[in-house]
């Protein structure tokens, strides 16, 4: 089945046959320019290591349980180009870490109080292709992340309704860097939180939500991501049923904000059907925005990729 073109890319779907033991599927695209011109591309073996997706309904509902402790791995790679006063600078930040989500209680409305424990964080920084001569505040603070925690409240659909940092155990000198790390981590988790409707979904069914832009430039609260989620189907992997959900979004300035902000986001998420937990997610974000740096107007454009693994996949 040929899908409608999107951003200049044409895609399609095919049903693959069952593969007998010892056999493999190979494919060879044929590119047709017009009625008289065509060309075969090189043949390739299909990496048949992902279970097939079944397009059938599934009920996705999040189940909070007090006392649960879930390992979490997160990687955020951000690349930005900033133009200011006629000069241009490129900034690359890669933050990856290991965390644990501990559900402390669940209220009568199904909202969970969750303590996010920071176990280990690495921060890489590159400016114009070179490492800075001295560690940045984020890099210095990364050694002390175990002294910081996140206090979250997550509703029964999976959306964050409270997102706070607790740095009371950390030295005062480290709190600026820790705050930037915590903001990046917890806003990234919010961006990848899939709101589940708690009802049966049919393949192709969509729903919407708003998320904050998880970028540490300018005013992060000045823009929003208008997200659309599409349920694609289910598959069975390692005796566990998982649902596949695609993510698409438009980035814009929040209502009432005059700052120029524009962009888009896309990605994919895997949801454990039994628990409703998002066990794997990937999001690609592209954004252009106006900002102010040290009192001077600037224009920034860049991209960010967020990857999340939760539960057994994060170990």
**Residue 311 pLDDT:** 85
Q: Which residues pair with 57 in a beta bridge?
A: none
Q: What percent of the chain has pLDDT over 90?
A: 66
**Residue 3 pLDDT:** 58
**Residue 167 pLDDT:** 96
**Residue 7 pLDDT:** 57
DSSP state for residue 192 in the 8-state scheme: T
**Residue 218 pLDDT:** 52
pLDDT tens, 242-252? 999 999 999 99
**Residue 151 pLDDT:** 96
Whether 23 shows a pLDDT value over 60: the answer reads yes
Comparing 196-205, 215-224, 302-311, the range with the smallest average pLDDT is: 215-224
With H, G, I as helix, E, B as strand and everything else as coil, classify residue 182: helix
Q: How many CB atoms lie within 10 A of CB 104?
A: 13
**Residue 212 pLDDT:** 87
In what helix (H) or strand (E) does residue 81 lie, and over which residues does it extend?
strand 69-84
Q: What are phi and psi of 128, to 5 degrees?
A: 55, 40
Q: Helix and strand tally (H, E) in the chain?
A: 2, 17
Write out the two tokens for 122: 């690495």
**Residue 31 pLDDT:** 77
**Residue 36 pLDDT:** 75
Say if residues 64 and 71 touch (Cβ distance below 8 Å): no
SS3 content of the chain, % helix, strand, coil (to 5): 10, 55, 35
Say if residues 240 and 257 touch (Cβ distance below 8 Å): no
Q: From CA 151, how far away is CA 131, in angstroms rounded?
A: 33
pTM, rounded to two decimals: 0.83
Whether 154 shows a pLDDT value over 70: the answer reads yes
pLDDT tens, 44-93? 776 655 677 899 999 999 999 999 999 999 999 999 898 988 889 898 99
Say if residues 62 and 197 touch (Cβ distance below 8 Å): no
With H, G, I as helix, E, B as strand and everything else as coil, classify residue 27: strand
Which one is predicted more confidently, 53 or 16? 53
Sorted by where each begins, the domain ranges of the chain are 58-314
First-to-last C-alpha distance (Å) of the chain: 37
**Residue 6 pLDDT:** 60
DSSP state for residue 43 in the 8-state scheme: P
pLDDT tens, 230-277? 999 999 988 899 999 999 999 998 888 888 889 999 999 999 999 999
CATH topology of domain 58-314: Lipovitellin-phosvitin complex; beta-sheet shell regions (2.30.230)
Whether 133 shows a pLDDT value over 90: the answer reads yes
Q: What are phi and psi of 205, to 5 degrees?
A: -70, 140
> Residue range 24-52: average pLDDT?
74
Q: From CA 58, how far away is CA 138, in angstroms rounded?
A: 42
């Amino acid at each position: 089945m040929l899908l409608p073109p999107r951003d200049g890319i044409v895609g399609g779907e095919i049903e693959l046959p069952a593969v007998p033991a010892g056999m493999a599927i190979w494919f060879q695209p044929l590119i047709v320019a017009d009625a008289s011109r065509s060309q075969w591309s090189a043949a390739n073996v299909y990496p048949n290591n992902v279970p097939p997706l079944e397009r059938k309904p599934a009920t996705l509902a999040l189940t909070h349980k007090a006392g649960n402790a879930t390992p979490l791995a997160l990687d955020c790679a951000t690349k930005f180009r900033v133009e200011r006063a006629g000069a241009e600078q490129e900034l690359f930040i890669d933050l990856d870490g290991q965390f644990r989500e501990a559900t402390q209680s669940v209220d009568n409305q199904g909202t969970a109080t969750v303590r996010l424990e920071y176990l280990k964080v690495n921060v890489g920084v590159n400016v114009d292709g070179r490492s800075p001569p001295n560690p940045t505040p984020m890099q210095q603070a990364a050694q002390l992340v175990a002294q910081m925690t996140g206090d979250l409240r997550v509703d029964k659909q999976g959306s964050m309704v409270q997102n706070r940092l607790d740095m009371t155990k950390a030295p005062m000198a480290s709190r600026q860097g820790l705050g930037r790390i915590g903001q990046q981590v917890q806003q990234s988790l919010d961006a990848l939180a899939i709101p589940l409707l708690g009802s049966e979904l049919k393949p192709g069914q969509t729903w919407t939500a708003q998320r904050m832009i998880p970028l540490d430039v300018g005013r992060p609260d000045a823009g929003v991501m208008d997200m659309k989620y599409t349920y694609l189907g289910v598959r069975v992997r390692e005796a566990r049923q998982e649902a596949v959900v695609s993510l698409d979004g438009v980035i814009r300035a929040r209502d009432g904000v005059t700052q120029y902000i524009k962009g888009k986001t896309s990605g994919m998420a895997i949801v454990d059907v039994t628990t409703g937990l998002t066990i794997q997610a990937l999001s690609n974000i592209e954004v252009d925005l106006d900002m102010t740096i040290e009192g001077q107007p600037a224009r920034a454009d860049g991209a960010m990729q967020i990857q999340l693994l939760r539960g057994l996949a994060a170990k």
